[in-house]
Chain A
Amino acid sequence: MNKAIQHLWTPLATTPLLWLAVTLAAYVAARWVQRACNGSAFANPVLIATIAVGAIVLATGTSYKTYFAGAQFINFLLGPVTIALAIPLAKNIKYVRRNLRSIGLALLAGSVTSIVSGVAIVWLLGGSKVVALSMAPKAVTTPIAMAVSEQIGGVPALTAALAILGGIVAAITGQHMLQRLQINDWRAHGLAAGVAGSGVAAAQVAARDELGAAFAALAIGLNGLVTALLVPMLALLWG
Chain B
Amino acid sequence: MLTALLSLIGCQLVGELIRDACHMPIPGPVLGMFLLAAVLVFHDRRRKPGADDARASLERTAETLIAHMGLFFVPAGVGIIAEAGLLQKQWLPIVAALFGSTLLSIAVTGLVMHRVTRSSEQQQGAAAAISGQQGSRP
Contact = CB atoms under 8 A, between A and B. Distances in A.
Contact of B96 (A44, A53, A80, A125): A125
A141 B34 CA distance: 15
Contact of A187 (B61, B130, B137): B130
Contacts of A199: 69, 73
Nearest to A170: B102
Given A27-B74, A160-B76, A188 B117 contact: yes
A188 B97 CA distance: 23
Nearest to A28: B71
A62 B137 CA distance: 44
A: interface residue count bin: 35 or more
B58 A87 contact: yes
* Interface of A: prevailing SS: helix
Contacts, number: 372
- Looking at chain B's contact residues, the main secondary structure is helix
B22 interface: no
A117 B104 CA distance: 8
A18 interface: no
A192 B123 CA distance: 24
Contact of B80 (A54, A77, A80): A54
Q: Which of A91, A101, A193, A219 has the most CB of B within 10 A?
A: A91
Given A122-B97, A135-B97, 11 more contacts: A86-B62, A111-B105, A125-B92, A138-B98, A141-B30, A157-B83, A178-B106, A183-B138, A207-B67, A208-B136, A209-B134
